[in-house]
Chains A and B, each alone.
Chain A
Amino acid sequence: MAKVSMTVNGRAVSGDVEDRTLLVHFLREQLGLTGTHVGCDTSQCGACVVHVDGKAAKSCTILAAQAAGSTVVTIEGLANGAELHPVQAAFKEHHGLQCGFCTPGMIMASVDLINRVGPGKLDEKAVREGLDGNICRCTGYHNIVQAVLSASNAMAKGGKGKAKAKAA
């Protein structure tokens, strides 16, 4: 057992975990942040993607102890109160989900992609390639791609939530 401390969604948190505890289990079971999902548990599906020190990462493949001292953002940390993050709003607007299980990871990966490439600088091919670490079994991806392109363009125009998105 070890005490780990990190910043999650802007809040300093700490907890006692076994050395083998995965970050996703620390987030879900100790912090109650159940928005981050465990899909495949074999590092392939991307449902567990969160941001660790500003970079998209699979929280099922990182030990909580490895993330000690890091800054973590989960899907719960994106919205500004009742105001959705532009990527969340675009997924809603464009029906970028059906069952919703992959959606938290899909959105965290999309925010990372837009931040990395720059808002407004994505095309369809870049979105499809950029999201190839996230599997969706419902949508056929079409509406997800539309949502990410729409969000990217909205963020380039300085849509609400831009500053928040950059921080995430």
Chain B
Amino acid sequence: MLETTYARAGSVAEAVKLNKAGKGEGKYLAGGHTLIPAMKQRLASPSVLVDVARIGELKGVKVTGRKVTIGAATTHAEVAADEKLRAVCPALCHLAGHIGDQHVRHRGTIGGSIANNDPAADYPAALLALDATIVTDKREIAADKFFKGLFETSLKDGELIKAVTFTAPAKAGYAKFPNPASRYAMAGVFVAGQKDGPRVAVTGAGDDGVFRSKELEAALGKGLDASKIDGVKVPPKGLMSDIHATAEYRAALVKAMAKRAAAATAS
């Protein structure tokens, strides 16, 4: 790991100020379970690491009616175990409880996951399907406009995610086929039954990161009937081919995971 400077922030305002001192080379650090491994491999070498993990205003899950707000520094383990959230959106608890392993879930955060936007991370699929809003220190960004491609988001330099908000849909489900070594999704599908129809988001499979599947949304309809996916052709065009799977194999996985996710919305 190359040299860096560590600074712990006590508030959002202080974090933003500390990051500015990094002159564009600063990074926010929460769980650090992607950033620190990347730094060890010298894929990242931030001049300043601004630790935001202990900022109180970034932590915790709030549920009011069906309106959910999750602080950016809330860990996967905390999301997975939150009973208020489970009551309105159990699919998101299920998703959070299957990220990485338990040790990772104790440290990794929702804000860190979406800011990194790994093309195989779980949360981007959920936020896109849940039509979530990403709240930063400067503005509110719709999930549709937030995820921009591989490891790319619409966040500006030094912009800090404060929270994620969404209205819990009546039904939602998530299923993923994890890579057996990394546990990242080789295909993960989040299905949410929104008022104006289903939103189906796919992670792990797209050549350009998380995306919505028009084919699956059209097939599922408002009933979220898993059997209607049988006749769908998921096109391999635009899907990832790598040492783990071809685009054609991933297309088959997307379909299979979509069926499981849709079936899970019934439970």
Contact = CB atoms under 8 A, between A and B. Distances in A.
A63 to B, nearest CB: 6
17 contacts: A19-B4, A20-B4, A43-B37, A46-B101, A46-B103, A49-B103, A55-B77, A56-B102, A57-B103, A58-B104, A61-B32, A62-B36, A63-B6, A65-B6, A66-B29, A132-B101, A134-B101
Interface in B189-233: none
Contact of B102 (A22, A61, A130): A130
B242 interface: no
Given A61-B32, A66-B51, A42 B102 contact: no
B107 A63 contact: no
B53 interface: yes
Interface of B: 1-6, 8, 29, 32-33, 36-37, 39-40, 49, 51, 53, 77, 100-104, 106-107, 181-183
A112 B103 CA distance: 10
Interface of A: 2, 18-20, 22, 41-44, 46, 49, 52, 55-58, 61-63, 65-66, 68, 109, 112-113, 130, 132-134
A133 B101 contact: yes
A112 B77 CA distance: 13
A66 B102 contact: no
B78 to A, nearest CB: 10
B102 A112 contact: yes
B32 A58 contact: no
Given A43-B37, A63-B6, A109 B102 contact: yes
A19 B183 CA distance: 30
Contacts of B2: 20
Contacts of B40: 41-42
A37 B29 CA distance: 24
A46 B101 CA distance: 10
B1 A20 contact: yes
A75 B57 CA distance: 34
B6 A62 contact: no
A155 B160 CA distance: 44
A92 to B, nearest CB: 24
Contact of B37 (A42, A113, A130): A42
Given A20-B6, A46-B103, A57-B107, 12 more contacts: A2-B6, A55-B106, A58-B107, A61-B33, A61-B107, A62-B32, A63-B49, A65-B8, A65-B51, A66-B29, A66-B51, A133-B102
B228 to A, nearest CB: 32
A52 B103 CA distance: 10
Given A19-B3, A19-B5, A109 B103 contact: yes
Nearest to B182: A44
Contacts of B3: 18-20
A30 to B, nearest CB: 16
Nearest to B183: A132
Nearest to A112: B102
Contact of A62 (B8, B39, B107, B182): B107
Nearest to B37: A43
A130 B1 CA distance: 30
Nearest to A4: B6
Contacts of B101: 46, 132-134
A66 B6 contact: yes
A42 B34 CA distance: 10
A133 B32 contact: no
Contacts of B32: 61-63, 66
B119 to A, nearest CB: 18
A41 B39 CA distance: 12
Contacts of B107: 57-58, 61-62
